[in-house]
Structure 1
Amino acid sequence: MDRQQILDLYDWKPGVCFRHPSRGEVCTTVVGVIHPQAAGEREVRGCKDCVIAIEDMRREAAARSGSDYEPGHLGECPG
C-alpha cells in the first residue's frame, strides 16, 4: 500500500499531535488511548507523518517476527 492508501484507512479530524504539539491543531487520528489516574480515558492523537512512521515500525516488526501486517489498526484495542 502507498502512503495515501494507508492514511485513507483512518478517520481524521483537527487535533494536536502527541509528537508535534508545537504545530498546533492539524489533521490527526487516534493512535492510542491512555488512562491517567486522575483523568479517566484520554485519546492520543497523531498527525499524518506520525501515523506513517508508526505503521512503518509495525510493518518492520511484523516482517522480523514473521507475522502478518495489516495497516489501519492504530488506536484499536487489541484482541
Structure 2
Amino acid sequence: MDRQQILDLYPWGDGICFRHPGRGEVLTAHVKTVRPAAGGINDIRACEECVLEMEAVRAEAARRRGGGYVPGCLEGGG
C-alpha cells in the first residue's frame, strides 16, 4: 500500500497530535482511547506523519514475527 492508501483508512479531523502538541490543531486521526485511573476518557490523536510512522513500526514488527500485517488498525493494535 502506498502512503495515501494507508491514510485513507482513517477518518481525519482537526485535533492535537500527541507527539507534536506544539504544532497546535492540525489534521489528525484518532488512534487510541485512554481511560486514566483518575477517571475520564482521553482520546489520543496523531497527525499524518505520525500515523505513517506508527504503521511502519507495526509492519516491521509483523515482518519480524513472520505474521501478517493489516494497515488501519492502530486503535486495536492488530
TM-score range, shorter chain: over 0.9
Residue 49 of structure 1 aligns to which amino acid in structure 2? Answer: E
Q: Mind listing any 5+ residue stretches in structure 1 that lack a counterpart? A: none
SS in 1 for 2:69: coil
Q: 1:60 is matched with which residue? A: 60
Q: Mind listing any 5+ residue stretches in structure 2 that lack a counterpart? A: none
**C-alpha distance after superposition, 1:45-79 (max 9, x if no partner):** 0000000000000000000001100000112376x
Q: 1:7 is matched with which residue? A: 7
- How many residue pairs match? The answer is 78
Percentage of identical aligned residues: 53
Q: TM-score normalized by structure 2? A: 0.93
In 2, the alpha carbon distance for the partners of 1:43 and 1:72 equals: 17
Q: How much has 1:32 moved relative to structure 2?
A: 1.2
**C-alpha distance after superposition, 1:24-61 (max 9, x if no partner):** 00010111111112242211000000000000000000
Q: 2:22 is matched with which residue? A: 22
Residue 72 of structure 2 aligns to which amino acid in structure 1? Answer: G
Q: 1:32 is matched with which residue? A: 32
Where has structure 1 moved over 4 Å in runs of 4 or more? none
In 2, the alpha carbon distance for the partners of 1:33 and 1:77 equals: 12
> What is the RMSD of the two structures over their aligned residues, measured on CA atoms?
1.3
